């Protein structure tokens, strides 16, 4: 069980993700974001609960829906917002945008526009750490859309045979873009696929930050201790459209969306903190105010940041030593 | 100087680098105890153990993607594909991840991954064990593409590839693997993007790639008996491509033939020809000619296989015809 300070830090982290993305959605409507913007609204508990156990030298590999992973791994809202605004101060200096957020200095090894490769790359980080005899771990975050891709099969098998220190975190939000997982998967469960590869696996409520936190704690300990990988299916839901500006209809009902909004991970956690007297309303309000200010500052920073210089466009195709 | 085969030369470079740098590891099918289908890792398993000589399942996409992640986190993977054709199962990982990683991360990440495999037509290997594919990789930003023709180059270029922080495709023509040649002892590197003049001459320039280099040199030695002086240039790396050496040679000879086993359309010869026209048009005394493998999948039957590769007679005729222009 997390300590009080940690409990509040989980709350703050979820709010950083939520408020940053709500700001990104507004900025997208204003035309400040030039490309795609897939939000993580409703899924914040997962990145928060997992990354709470990671050190800056642990490596996270993420997906197209990766703002939450970047923020939870320690990329600042300023760097995320500036990157989506296409500015030189963004975490990828304007070369990436939403789907290519990188900050290896804090172990954020990239979000990706392709579904699946993060699973293999996280296994590769595990291979490095095993070879170099460190106790670091590699973590892949991916959606239900990735689990019927060959990368999942190959990556889990490789991690299993070499007992790699890797966590495979499946964020099952029930839809791959707009195709239901119930339609696209012969096996409707992800959390029971571990035995097929000889690895540990389980399913948790992905909208319960403490459930994720506890499952991840055990998996990280297992990985650091040389006991191999774990697959964790986190059942969750994205309450906004697949991407900002996209029509969000024709594949799910408004009733379903409303039902999941009732299970909002932040509201639930807020209530839990109050009920269990882990925090008072004033403390939580102070955290909310602090995060709002942080996000307003990030937006302003992004908007006022310089554009990248066109002369630099060919830099970094190759290593420049 | 002592002689080594092409494969022994790369093995020497690999062994020496692995002894120095514990972050280098090799993955592939049968590269552990067995020492590799083409003897690329013979004796290394005993020295460096199973984690650094890591046998894999037949899971090309899996282990290539995995090695990308390893290269991003402090180690230096060497992927031994045996036959390069198998790399195609990992094409998405190569193009979307490995080649773009440094750029996407604005240079914050390095991608020190060496991808090696046997290429080329011969021995009735048929079409799933004969591809070369290097024009495809040279087309894309982010790859270094190395195609050595002789053992000493193979060693020096392999050593460079093992030190590179960029992804390198190291492509070894099957017909060259067991050729012997003088190879210097000790460590040395050969920079990428520096062509080798395999034979000097003044009447005509042949740019030959991989297995076409020795073949072209033999043809030109024979033509010398008829007073024809032809120069043969081996680019050694397709990306980067040493156009300065080619342009200098064409300036001297006024005539250019590109001899390449891979396909003609959108190929290396097309690129070299275009650059010579751009930058050396006034030096040309005749049209540029290209000799390529036929634009077909590789057939199995010996007479069919022979029909698709540029042979010595084709090269000789091409030079004679061009000099008559």
pLDDT band of A4, cuts 50, 70, 90 = confident
Asked if the peptide bond before residue B99 counts as cis, ω within 30 degrees of 0, the response is: no
Domain that holds residue A256: 4-176+187-297
A320 vs B107, B109, B141: nearest CB: B107
Say if CB A137 and CB A88 are below 8 A apart.
no
3-state secondary structure of B259: strand
What is the C-alpha separation between A19 and A246, in angstroms, rounded? Answer: 20
| Region B231-248 average pLDDT | 98
**Chain A residues whose beta carbon lies within 8 Å of the beta carbon of residue B23:** 131-132
- Smallest Cα distance from B56 to chain A, Å: 8
Q: Do B92 and A114 touch (CB under 8 A)?
A: yes
Domain over B196-324 is classified CATH 3.40.50.920:
yes
Domain membership of residue A131 (yes or no) is yes
Domain membership of residue A65 (yes or no) is yes
Q: What percent of chain A has pLDDT over 70?
A: 99
pLDDT band of A320, cuts 50, 70, 90 = confident
Say if CB B170 and CB B9 are below 8 A apart.
no
What is the C-alpha separation between B164 and B226, in angstroms, rounded? Answer: 44
| Region B127-137 average pLDDT | 97
- pLDDT per residue as tens digits for the range B149-171: 999 999 999 999 999 999 999 99
Check CB contact of B66 with chain A, cutoff 8 Å: yes
Q: Quick one: pLDDT at residue A1?
A: 59
Q: Quick one: pLDDT at residue B1?
A: 82
Q: Which residue of A has its CA nearest to B93?
A: A117
Six-digit token string for A87: 């500015």
The domains spanning B3-182 and B196-324 adopt the same CATH topology: yes
What is the C-alpha separation between B263 and A274, in angstroms, rounded? Answer: 70
pLDDT band of A321, cuts 50, 70, 90 = low
Q: Quick one: pLDDT at residue A114?
A: 96
Distance separating the N- and C-terminal Cα atoms of chain B: 42
Q: Quick one: pLDDT at residue A238?
A: 96
* Phi, psi angle pair for A115, to nearest 5°: -80, 120
Domain membership of residue A304 (yes or no) is no
Q: What percent of chain A has pLDDT over 90?
A: 97
- Best B25, B66, B104, B110 member to test A by mutation, with max A CBs in 10 Å, is B66
3-state secondary structure of A200: strand
| Residue partners of A99: CB distance under 8 A and separation at least 6 | A35, A36, A38, A64, A66, A111, A112, A113
Residue from B8, B12, B29, B60 carrying the catalytic annotation: B60
**Chain B residues whose beta carbon lies within 8 Å of the beta carbon of residue A35:** none
Q: Quick one: pLDDT at residue A3?
A: 80
Concerning whether B123 is annotated as a catalytic residue, the answer is: no
Q: Quick one: pLDDT at residue B234?
A: 98
DSSP state of A307: P
**Chain A residues whose beta carbon lies within 8 Å of the beta carbon of residue B72:** 59, 104, 109, 121, 124-125
- pLDDT per residue as tens digits for the range A103-161: 999 999 999 999 999 999 999 999 999 999 999 999 999 999 999 999 999 999 999 99
**Residue indicated by tokens 């680019």:** B235
| Region B217-228 average pLDDT | 98
Q: Quick one: pLDDT at residue A139?
A: 98
Q: Which residue of A has its CA nearest to B109?
A: A104
Q: Residue A292 above 70 pLDDT?
A: yes
Domain membership of residue A205 (yes or no) is yes
Task: Give me the residue spans of the domains in chain B.
Answer: 3-182, 196-324
Check CB contact of A123 with chain B, cutoff 8 Å: yes
ipTM of the complex: 0.96
Domain membership of residue A315 (yes or no) is no
Q: What is the number of structural domains in chain A? A: 1
Check CB contact of A318 with chain B, cutoff 8 Å: yes
Six-digit token string for B125: 């290997």
CATH code at position A143: 3.40.50.970
What is the C-alpha separation between A86 and A52, in angstroms, rounded? Answer: 29
Query: pTM above 0.95?
Result: yes
Q: Quick one: pLDDT at residue A103?
A: 98
Check CB contact of B103 with chain A, cutoff 8 Å: yes
Domain membership of residue A320 (yes or no) is no
| Region A52-56 average pLDDT | 98
Q: Do A151 and B106 touch (CB under 8 A)?
A: no
A319 vs B54, B57, B110: nearest CB: B110
Domain membership of residue A72 (yes or no) is yes
Q: Nearest 5°: CA angle at B308, between B306 and B309?
A: 75
Please identify among residues 174-213 of chain A the ones whose CB lies closer than 8 Å to any CB of chain B: none
Q: Residue A2 above 90 pLDDT?
A: no
Q: Residue B133 above 80 pLDDT?
A: yes
Q: Do B73 and A96 touch (CB under 8 A)?
A: no
- pLDDT per residue as tens digits for the range A207-216: 999 999 999 9
Q: Residue B269 above 90 pLDDT?
A: yes
Q: Residue B177 above 90 pLDDT?
A: yes
Concerning whether B295 is annotated as a catalytic residue, the answer is: no
What architecture does CATH give domain B3-182?
3-Layer(aba) Sandwich (3.40)
Give per-residue burial for B75-84: e unless 16+ CB within 10 Å, then b.
bbbbbbbbbb
Check CB contact of A166 with chain B, cutoff 8 Å: no
Q: Which residue of B has its CA nearest to A321?
A: B165
Closest CA to B321 of B225, B202, B204, B200: B204
Per the prediction, chain A carries an average pLDDT of: 96
Check CB contact of B57 with chain A, cutoff 8 Å: yes
**Residue indicated by tokens 């389980």:** A202
- pLDDT per residue as tens digits for the range A204-263: 999 999 999 999 999 999 999 999 999 999 999 999 999 999 999 899 999 999 999 999
**Residue indicated by tokens 């993060």:** A118
B59 vs A103, A109, A158: nearest CB: A158
Check CB contact of B166 with chain A, cutoff 8 Å: yes
Check CB contact of A130 with chain B, cutoff 8 Å: yes
Check CB contact of A89 with chain B, cutoff 8 Å: no
Domain membership of residue A302 (yes or no) is no
């Amino acid at each position: 069980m997390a300590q009080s300070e940690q409990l509040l830090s989980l709350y703050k982290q979820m709010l950083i993700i939520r408020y940053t993305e709500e700001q990104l959605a507004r900025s997208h409507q204003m035309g400040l974001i030039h490309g795609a913007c897939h939000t993580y609204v409703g899924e914040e508990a997962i990145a928060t609960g997992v990354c709470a156990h990671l050190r800056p030298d642990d490596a996270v590999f993420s997906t197209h829906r990766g703002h939450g992973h970047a923020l939870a791994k320690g990329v600042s809202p300023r760097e995320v917002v500036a990157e989506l605004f296409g500015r030189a101060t963004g975490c990828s200096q304007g070369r990436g945008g939403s789907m290519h957020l990188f900050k290896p200095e804090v172990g954020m090894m990239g979000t990706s526009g392709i579904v699946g490769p993060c699973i293999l790359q996280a296994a590769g980080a595990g291979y490095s750490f095993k070879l170099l005899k460190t106790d670091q771990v590699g973590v892949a975050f991916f959606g239900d859309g990735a689990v019927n891709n060959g990368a999942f099969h190959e990556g889990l098998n490789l991690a299993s045979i070499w007992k790699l220190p890797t966590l495979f975190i499946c964020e099952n939000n029930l839809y791959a873009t707009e195709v239901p997982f119930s339609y696209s998967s012969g096996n409707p469960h992800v959390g029971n696929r571990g035995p097929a590869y000889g690895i540990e696996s389980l399913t948790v409520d992905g909208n319960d930050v403490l459930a994720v936190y506890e499952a991840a704690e055990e998996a990280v300990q297992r990985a650091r201790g040389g006991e191999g990988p774990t697959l964790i299916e986190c059942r969750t839901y994205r309450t906004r459209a697949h991407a900002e500006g996209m029509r969000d209809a024709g594949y799910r009902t408004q009733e379903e969306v409303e039902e999941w909004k009732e299970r909002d991970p932040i509201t639930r956690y807020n209530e839990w903190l109050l009920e269990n007297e882990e925090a008072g309303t004033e403390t939580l309000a102070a955290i909310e105010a602090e995060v709002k200010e942080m996000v307003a500052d990030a937006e302003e920073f992004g908007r006022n940041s310089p554009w990248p210089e066109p002369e630099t466009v060919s830099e970094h195709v190759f290593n420049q030593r | 100087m002592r002689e080594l085969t092409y494969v022994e030369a790369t093995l020497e470079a690999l062994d020496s680098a692995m002894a120095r740098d514990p972050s280098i590891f090799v993955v592939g099918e049968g590269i552990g105890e067995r020492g590799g289908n083409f003897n690329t890792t013979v004796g290394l398993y005993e020295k460096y153990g199973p984690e650094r000589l890591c046998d894999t399942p037949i899971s090309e996409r899996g282990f290539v993607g995995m090695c990308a992640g390893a290269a991003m986190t402090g180690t230096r993977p060497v992927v031994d594909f045996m036959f390069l054709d198998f790399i195609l199962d990992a094409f998405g990982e190569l193009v979307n991840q490995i080649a773009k990683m440094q750029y996407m991360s604005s240079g914050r990440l390095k991608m020190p991954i060496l991808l090696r495999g046997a290429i080329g037509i011969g021995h009735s290997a048929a079409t799933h064990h004969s591809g070369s594919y290097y024009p495809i990789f040279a087309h894309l930003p982010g790859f270094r593409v190395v195609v050595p023709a002789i053992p000493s180059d193979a060693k020096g270029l392999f050593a460079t590839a093992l030190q590179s922080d960029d992804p390198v495709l190291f492509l070894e023509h099957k017909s060259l693997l067991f050729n012997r040649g003088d190879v210097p002892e000790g460590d040395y590197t050969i920079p990428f993007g520096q062509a080798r003049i395999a034979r000097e001459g003044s009447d005509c320039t042949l740019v030959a790639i991989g297995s076409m280099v020795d073949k072209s040199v033999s043809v030109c030695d024979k033509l010398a008996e008829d007073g024809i002086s032809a120069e043969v240039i081996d680019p050694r790396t397709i990306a980067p491509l040493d156009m300065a050496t080619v342009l200098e040679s064409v300036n001297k000879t006024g005539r250019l033939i590109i001899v390449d086993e891979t396909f003609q359309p959108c190929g290396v010869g097309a690129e070299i020809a275009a650059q010579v026209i751009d930058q050396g048009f006034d030096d040309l005394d005749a049209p540029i000619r290209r000799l390529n493998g036929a634009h077909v999948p590789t057939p199995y039957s010996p007479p069919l296989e022979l029909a698709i590769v540029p042979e010595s007679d084709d090269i000789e005729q091409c030079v004679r015809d061009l000099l008559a222009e």
